Amino acid sequence: MIKVEQLTKKYAGFTAIKNLSFEVDRGEIVGFLGPNGAGKTTTMRILSSFMPATSGHAAIAGYDVFKDSINARRHLGYLPENIPLYGDMRVSEYLRYRGALKDLSGKRLKERVGVVKELCTLKEVENKLISTLSKGYRQRVGLAEVMIHEPALLILDEPTIGLDPSQIRQVRELIKALGEQHTILLSTHILSEVEITCSRVIIINRGEIEASDTPENLVGKIRTSGTVNLEVRTGLDSPADWIRQIPGVKEVKIETDDFWHRCTIRVEANSDLREKIYQLAVQRHWIVRELTREKATLEDVFIELTHTDN
């Protein structure tokens, strides 16, 4: 659906993206992550034919975004960051206008405007001026507009920025529902959202791809260690000394409250040491109140990949 080869964009003085190559297949929901200024928006703008690349190729649905840009744009719904909308138009009027620009007309246009209003629950504001809408509604107008011509591909640049938690959940549900029919490339900073919605994650940093894989694999591969939490009463034993002897333990931190020791144990590469720790506790006659494992999250992956070079 998206094919990017050796894409480079240079601005006066600096290179926004360097030799970017990746592919997105039909039906995928891909999360496009990276710190601010990593080149996400630049990449999305090139893919949406808003501006040309300095070198390299990009194609959408088989159409080159520069040479055959009108056809590429026909297959694309692009939602820019901050959802620019015309404040002087009414919601229905805006959707009709955008639909007509995207080659819909007559009955089909009317039908699609109705469908997207329904899907994005815009019925109650359909006759309001866009300038009077709240941020959540603006976001939904933006999303409705993006899918009005049923494009094969949706590119969404931070679709949940600035929304409150319940609105974020609504938008996430909507994106998930859209993912059943559309291929989606979305950028966001909310990593929990990516773990829930995306089938694949591409992480870029300073214009280069750092990783591209499923969220599970990324978390699995990460070098940062996972964590085991242990809460025990050990009598006279000093738990840290004993735990450190278990192979695979990297670091033990202990907080003591009365007789209870709360141990935060960093272990290597998501290895699960709970059994060994339990056996140790049994052997030393410790009383265990809690023994849990925290997996590494996508956030750990993100921080690891984008900060190690700095």
Partner 1 sequence: MMRRFLTLLQRELSIFYYSPIAYVVLFFFLILNGLSFWFAIAILNHAPSENTVVQMFFNSAFFWIAYLLVFPVITMKLFAEEFKLGTIETLMTAPVRDWEVVISKFLAALLFYMNLWLPSLLYFLIFGWLGNRSAIGSSGQLWAPYLLLLVMGMFNVSLGCLASALTSNQIVATMISFVLTTGIFFLTLINYEVNNTWPLLHDVTAYVAQLDHMDSFSRGIVDSRALVFYPSVTLFLLVITYYIFQYRRWRT
**Chain residues in the site for partner 1 (CB under 8 A):** 11, 45, 48-52, 70-71, 73-74, 76, 78, 80, 82, 84-88, 97-98, 100-103, 105, 145
Please name the residue ranges forming H helices in 53-103: 69-74, 91-101
Q: How far is the CB of 151 from partner 1 (least distance, A)?
A: 10
Q: How far is the CB of 177 from partner 1 (least distance, A)?
A: 22
The residue type of 232 is: V
Written as six digits, the tokens of 191 are: 């990593």
Of 145 and 300, the one with the shorter C-beta distance to partner 1 is 145
The answer to whether residues 159 and 79 touch, using CB atoms and an 8 Å cutoff, is: yes
Q: Spell 89-125 as b/e; 16+ CB within 10 A means b.
A: bbbbbbbbebbeebebeeeebeebbeebbeebebeeb
Q: How far apart are CA 75 and CA 77, in angstroms?
A: 7
Q: How far is the CB of 264 from partner 1 (least distance, A)?
A: 46
The three-class DSSP label of residue 95 is helix
Q: How far is the CB of 182 from partner 1 (least distance, A)?
A: 16
Of 38 and 83, the one with the shorter C-beta distance to partner 1 is 83
Q: What is the DSSP secondary structure assignment for residue 52, as one 8-state letter?
A: -
Of 4 and 76, the one with the shorter C-beta distance to partner 1 is 76
Of 106 and 165, the one with the shorter C-beta distance to partner 1 is 106
Q: How far is the CB of 153 from partner 1 (least distance, A)?
A: 12
Of 14 and 97, the one with the shorter C-beta distance to partner 1 is 97
